[in-house]
Amino acid sequence: MTDDFFACMGLPRRFDLDRAAIEGRYLELSRELHPDRFIGGSSAERRAALERSSALNEAYRGLRDPIRRAEHLCKLGGIDLDSDARSGGAPTPSQAFLVEMIEARELLAEATTPGEREALREKIEAAAEERLAAAAAALEGGMIRDAAEALVIHRYLRRFLDEIDGAQH
């Protein structure tokens, strides 16, 4: 099979995909490629059917999640966000952004009430959504590098949201 989730599912390679179209295509292909349809085939046919079905499931999981879809488009465009920047991977956030994150962590450490933590959470959640929207716009415009930069910042913000949630318990 292919490492291209879009090709695997026969969908156009773009960020803006209708979730119902993804679901419909997955159901159609999963019926067609299900390993049970090849139960009477040779062991090679059964193995190939299982591999195709597995690849389809992976592609479906990758495309139904907008964040994973955006990251996959970056990877197809030559920037693997799970690799180091020196090897063509994730770009390094700006120094200014990293300073903002340090300051946000200090605010979290100083937050003494649930209301203060929730206000910080809402601010960071809004920033994360803005970065995802920026990544989507960049992808639609073919600007893979800009999308990758926005997605790296989105990852930082999502991890910080996890920290905020952990501090609330």
Alpha carbons 1 and 60: distance in angstroms, whole number: 14
Residue 80: DSSP 8-state: B
pLDDT in tens, 66-86: 999 999 999 999 999 988 766
Quick one: average pLDDT of 102-126? 93
Quick one: average pLDDT of 28-40? 80
Residue, of 30 and 132, whose pLDDT is higher: 132
User: Where are the domains positioned within the chain?
Assistant: 5-64, 85-167
Q: Is the pLDDT of residue 1 over 60?
A: no
Fold of the CATH domain 5-64: Helix Hairpins (1.10.287)
140, amino acid identity: E
| DSSP-derived secondary structure for 102-159 | HHHHHHHHH--SHHHHHHHHHHHHHHHHHHHHHHHHHHHTT-HHHHHHHHHHHHHHHH
> What end-to-end distance do the CA atoms of the chain give, in Å?
44
Fold of the CATH domain 85-167: Monooxygenase (1.20.1280)
